[in-house]
Amino acid sequence: MDELIEIRDSVQKISEAIASVLNMDVIISDAQFRKIGDTKKHFNLEVKYIKDSYVIGKVLQTGKVRVISGKEDSENCIVCAEKGECNLQAMICVPIRYSDSVIGAIGLIAINAQARTVLLENQANLVGYIERMADLIVSKLLEKEATDKLTVARNQLVSIMNSIDEGIAAVDENGRIIYLNSILQDILGPKVAGPIGENALDIFPDRYVADLIQSGTPFSNIELRIKNASGDAHALISGRPVSLGEKNAGSILAFKKMEDVYEVINNLTSSNRTTSFDEIVGDSREIVQLKEKAMKVAGGGSNILITEPPRRKALYRDQLRRHAGDPHRERTVRIRRRILHRGCPRRQAGEIPARPRRHRLPGRDRRYATTSAAETSAGPPGEDHRKDRRTQERDRRRAHDRGDEQES
């Protein structure tokens, strides 16, 4: 628990209030014999600290209420070396307790005969009154402790809000902005400086935000453009209401920058499998030359365009990034598809038929004939070459499509 010294100002005000009501002097000490409150009438000198030989010091040690009718009736006053400077006529001293522990003491001192008579005749009532004042001091100490805990919790929450990657805005029940984290302040920029206290709809003009503030309707991932110093900021916005029982106590708005959303999508769709150029199938002269070229350009800083099918493109892209030593560097390589086709080992082994070729026939009735790569177009056209041109083109396209399917 906190100590009374931490609420010294409040304790001094309480001592002054007691003195003004009872027309008596008041002194208050904590458990470490430090003076916390003093109205400075009962002693001609400045009381800088409390001695354990004082009456209030004995109460701190014993934890018991003491009432003395004069200096001559108290053994503490009789042996006190400073009794000549003391104006005490009578005194009530009450301990300040919290959880069975003495954390301080209050001394009510009569400094004249009239006050002494009042104190001694009403000592029972005055003891009860001083005990209530002691409880008030304890409540002030608990309030200070609770405030400190709330401050710590708030600072922790602010640290959490500033450490996440999303912009956060807190809005009260009237739609006024009461908090912005650092991410959202960066999104808004200096053009919207000092939005605390502003209407949220003036900064985030959107019907979903209006429904959230007015009726507590939540929403998720709505695109919104926010005006800032550089123009517009593109973001995804989500909102949730804050309730206190059945009462609307405000709202929380969360913002994701679209560039961050795109980066997450790219990271999720990218392959993280570790491969090498040696795993690319093929040992033909064209493939070997292609690998050598790719390894050479991997260490350069130029942009490279890859025009391969998705799987082969991803494979070459990943290897170029790995050999470049930067897995996050966006690079592309331009690789001619015809080189990979010529060097495909499955096609060379005959597992995939060669791509059909078109031959233009001589003569007056020209038609387009389709043959394999191993066939030739020499000699007069046969009966098949006299088919209708449309039929011939259809057959050529079908043969071409079959070759692509077998390749894939």
Mean pLDDT of 306-313: 58
Q: Which two tokens stand for residue 58?
A: 């004995």
The 10s digit of each residue's pLDDT in 59-109 is: 999 999 999 888 877 777 777 777 777 888 889 999 999 988 999 999 999
> How far is CA 405 from each of CA 301, 365, 383, 391, rounded to the nearest angstrom?
37, 33, 29, 21
| Angle subtended by helix axes 285-298 and 310-324, to nearest 10 | 50
Distance between CA atoms of residues 60 and 93, nearest Å: 10
Residues 6+ apart with CB under 8 A from 251: 170, 171, 200, 212, 213, 216, 239, 240, 241, 242
Distance between CA atoms of residues 34 and 405, nearest Å: 93
- Looking at residue 166, its pLDDT comes to 87
Of 58-72, 250-264, 274-288, 367-381, the range with the lowest mean pLDDT is 367-381
> How far is CA 89 from each of CA 245, 250, 391, rounded to the nearest angstrom?
57, 60, 129
Contact call for residues 92 and 126 (beta carbons, < 8 A): yes
The 10s digit of each residue's pLDDT in 347-389 is: 555 555 555 554 444 444 444 444 444 444 444 444 444 456 6
Distance between CA atoms of residues 258 and 139, nearest Å: 51
Q: What are phi and psi of 173, to 5 degrees?
A: -65, -20
Any idea which residue has 């003036």 for tokens?
202
Contact call for residues 24 and 17 (beta carbons, < 8 A): no
Mean pLDDT of 297-322: 61
- Domains, the chain: 4-144 (3.30.450.40), 164-263 (3.30.450.20), 270-342 (no CATH), 359-407 (no CATH)
